[in-house]
């Protein structure tokens, strides 16, 4: 990895808009900077799309849709397979690029590239498994034919925290289903998506199938496309607040939607749990991606008999985590994405301590350049603390004791969110009881990581609509058509 130049890897990426298979500047010539969150310095400038550029991108997607839908499923799958192989081959360079723009340590960036590539491999195989049906009408007078077709041009919006994987998780099933796309990556981390667009073109994706808009004005560029009427689906990953606004906009043209929104994941540890496994799971669920993940453990509920021991051991582990720029060897805690993220985390911790929570380690920002916040453990966190209801998106673990199973479940479910919950127990009956009662789309049972391209990812309540990944992920990009046949 050390032989790869930081400047070289940034220079190698296209900085313009990718529309109709070509790299083009923004129509008004505007650009915006991409900042290194560990230093605050600019890495480069990228094209700043205007609403007119958005229309051009949708024009390209609409123009390519009919021909792309007629491409054989096997060929669509082979394109994804070739893109998978290119991602794996270039994982080191892509990981460095991701670390520079997002901040996570190189080891985690490398892991994300591998994870991202797996979505392409998975959906390459799903492309040839799109099925239908044939049945005799109940009265015997006719036949039912059922087929599935691509939903049509799609609008995709991805977040900054997993800039490659959130792209492949949407692009993979869209390509497999035969849909064209306009994708807008987050302004903080556009370089990974621009690199991905070049890889897909190299893998043989036809012109106009994927169009990439980088912009500092997400709402101004995307809302006209949502209300245009020619796009038929919106897939969004981001905050619940933004998701609500997008749903309102989609209602105007009755766009099909997939929404992977915010989380407030509870992490339940019962007295009969394997404590070693629980601590390992807690570190994974809390500190993956520096805590900047919708699946991150947000609230730790630990049974009273072991809460002191759990708190002590978690504190020791968090204190030992090396912090620094993600490119430095051995670093585990990188910077948060921007100053606003640091201010949010600082405010949540201050609110909790003012209400009686105790800081066992961390609890403050770090002097010097970059958006760093210490790995933090809080205990005796009261129920009315903002930490209990707001998504932290940072390296802070708030611990609250509980006495009974019912109390733990009630606390876990006391949220508008329902993305993922984590449960640690050695009692099989309890594991099943609690898992069934928790209001979440995903359960981590004795493990701190639930994400897998082969599994359906998504939440309930205000954590979203639809599922990504797994055998159901491609269905989000397909319409079911019924053909009545008279005999």
CATH number where 26 lies: 3.40.605.10
The reply to whether 455 falls in a domain is: no
Residue 466, token pair as written in the block: 């639809």
Q: What is the pLDDT of residues 344-399, one digit of tens each?
A: 999 999 999 999 999 999 999 999 999 999 999 999 999 999 999 999 999 999 99
Residue 39, token pair as written in the block: 């230093």
Band of the pLDDT at 4, cuts 50, 70, 90?
confident
> From the CA atom positions of the chain, what is the Rg in Å?
23
Q: What is the mean pLDDT of residues 30-50?
A: 98
Q: Are residues 476 and 419 in the same domain?
A: no
The reply to whether 128 falls in a domain is: yes
Whether residue 3 is predicted with pLDDT greater than 80 in this model: the reply is no
Sort 313 into a burial class: Cβ within 10 Å, 0-12 / 13-18 / 19+: middle
Q: Are residues 152 and 241 in the same domain?
A: yes
Q: Are residues 256 and 270 in the same domain?
A: no
* Residue in 101, 112, 260, 292 annotated catalytic: 260
Q: Are residues 413 and 293 in the same domain?
A: yes
Structural domain boundaries enclosing 295: 265-445
The reply to whether 457 falls in a domain is: no
Helix axes 106-126, 73-89, angle to 10 degrees: 160
Residue 310 belongs to domain with CATH number: 3.40.309.10
Q: Give the SS3 label for residue 234.
A: strand
Q: Are residues 382 and 279 in the same domain?
A: yes
Q: Are residues 175 and 71 in the same domain?
A: yes
Q: Which are the contacts of 444, defined by CB distance < 8 A and separation ≥ 6?
A: 281, 285, 420, 421, 422, 423, 450
How many domains in the chain?
Answer: 2
The reply to whether 93 falls in a domain is: yes
Q: What is the pLDDT of residues 195-225, one digit of tens each?
A: 999 999 999 999 999 999 999 999 999 999 9
The reply to whether 358 falls in a domain is: yes
Q: Are residues 96 and 139 in the same domain?
A: yes
Helix axes 165-177, 191-202, angle to 10 degrees: 30
Active site residue 207: no
Helix spans in 103-190 (H): 106-126, 165-177
The reply to whether 70 falls in a domain is: yes
Residue 403 and residue 383: Cα distance in Å, rounded?
15
Residue 151 and residue 180: Cα distance in Å, rounded?
9
Q: What is the mean pLDDT of residues 412-426?
A: 98
Q: Are residues 419 and 324 in the same domain?
A: yes
Q: Are residues 188 and 208 in the same domain?
A: yes
The reply to whether 459 falls in a domain is: no
Residue 435 and residue 43: Cα distance in Å, rounded?
45
Residue 54, token pair as written in the block: 């958005």
Band of the pLDDT at 1, cuts 50, 70, 90?
very low
Whether residue 27 is predicted with pLDDT greater than 80 in this model: the reply is yes
Q: Are residues 429 and 468 in the same domain?
A: no
Q: Are residues 244 and 341 in the same domain?
A: no
Helix axes 218-226, 51-69, angle to 10 degrees: 40
Q: What is the mean pLDDT of residues 149-176?
A: 98
Higher pLDDT: 185 or 383? It is 185
Q: Which are the contacts of 115, defined by CB distance < 8 A and separation ≥ 6?
A: 165, 451, 453
Q: Are residues 195 and 282 in the same domain?
A: no
Residue 186, token pair as written in the block: 């987050």
How far is residue 464 from each of residues 170, 175, 261, 265, 457, measured CA to CA in Å?
15, 22, 5, 14, 10
The reply to whether 456 falls in a domain is: no
Let me know the angle formed at the C-alpha of 289 by 365 and 38, rounded to the nearest 5 degrees. Answer: 45
Q: What is the mean pLDDT of residues 125-141?
A: 96
Residue 98 and residue 94: Cα distance in Å, rounded?
6
* Mean per-residue pLDDT of the chain: 97
**Which residue matches tokens 């005999």?**
487
Q: State if pTM tops 0.75.
A: yes
């Amino acid at each position: 990895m050390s032989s790869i130049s930081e400047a070289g890897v940034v220079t190698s990426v296209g900085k313009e808009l990718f529309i109709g298979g070509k790299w083009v500047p923004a129509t008004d010539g505007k650009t915006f900077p991409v900042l290194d969150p560990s230093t605050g310095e600019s890495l480069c400038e990228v094209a700043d799309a205007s609403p007119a550029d958005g229309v051009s991108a949708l024009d390209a997607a609409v123009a390519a849709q009919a021909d792309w839908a007629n491409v054989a499923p096997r060929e669509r799958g082979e394109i994804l397979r070739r893109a998978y192989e290119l991602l794996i081959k270039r994982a080191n360079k892509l990981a460095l690029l991701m670390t520079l723009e997002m901040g996570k340590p190189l080891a985690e960036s490398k892991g994300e590239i591998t994870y991202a590539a797996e979505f392409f491999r998975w959906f390459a195989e799903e492309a040839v498994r799109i099925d239908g049906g044939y049945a005799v009408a109940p009265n015997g007078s006719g036949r039912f034919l059922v087929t599935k077709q691509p939903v049509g041009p799609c609008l995709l919006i991805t977040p900054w925290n997993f800039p490659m994987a959130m792209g492949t998780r949407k692009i993979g099933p869209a390509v497999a289903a035969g849909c064209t796309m306009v994708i807008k990556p987050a302004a903080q981390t556009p370089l990974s998506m621009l690199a991905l667009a070049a890889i897909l073109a190299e893998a043989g994706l036809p012109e106009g199938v994927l169009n990439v808009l980088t912009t500092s004005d997400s709402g101004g560029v995307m809302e006209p496309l949502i209300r245009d009427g020619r796009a038929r689906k919106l897939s969004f990953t981001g905050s619940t607040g933004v998701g609500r606004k997008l749903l309102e906009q989609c209602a105007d043209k009755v766009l099909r939607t997939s929404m992977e929104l915010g989380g407030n994941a509870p992490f339940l540890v019962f007295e009969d749990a394997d404590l070693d496994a629980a601590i390992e799971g807690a570190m994974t669920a809390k500190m993956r991606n520096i805590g900047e993940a919708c699946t991150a453990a947000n609230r730790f509920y630990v049974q009273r008999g072991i809460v002191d021991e759990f708190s002590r051991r978690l504190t020791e582990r968090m204190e030992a985590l090396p912090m620094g720029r993600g490119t430095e060897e051995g670093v585990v805690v990188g910077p948060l994405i921007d100053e606003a993220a640091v201010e949010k985390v600082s405010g949540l911790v201050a609110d909790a301590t003012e209400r009686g929570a105790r800081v066992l380690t961390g609890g403050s920002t770090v002097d010097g350049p970059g958006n760093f916040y210490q790995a933090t453990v809080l205990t005796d966190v009261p129920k009315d603390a903002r930490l209990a209801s707001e998504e932290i998106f940072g390296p802070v673990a708030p611990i609250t004791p509980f006495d009974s199973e019912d109390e733990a479940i009630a606390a876990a479910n006391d949220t508008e969110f329902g993305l993922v919950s984590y449960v640690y127990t050695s009692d099989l009956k309890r594991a099943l009881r609690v898992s069934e009662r928790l209001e979440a789309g995903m359960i981590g049972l004795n493990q701190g990581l639930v994400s897998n391209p082969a599994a359906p990812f998504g939440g309930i309540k205000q954590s979203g609509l639809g599922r990504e990944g797994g055998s159901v992920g491609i269905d989000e990009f397909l319409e079911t058509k019924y053909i009545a046949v008279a005999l």
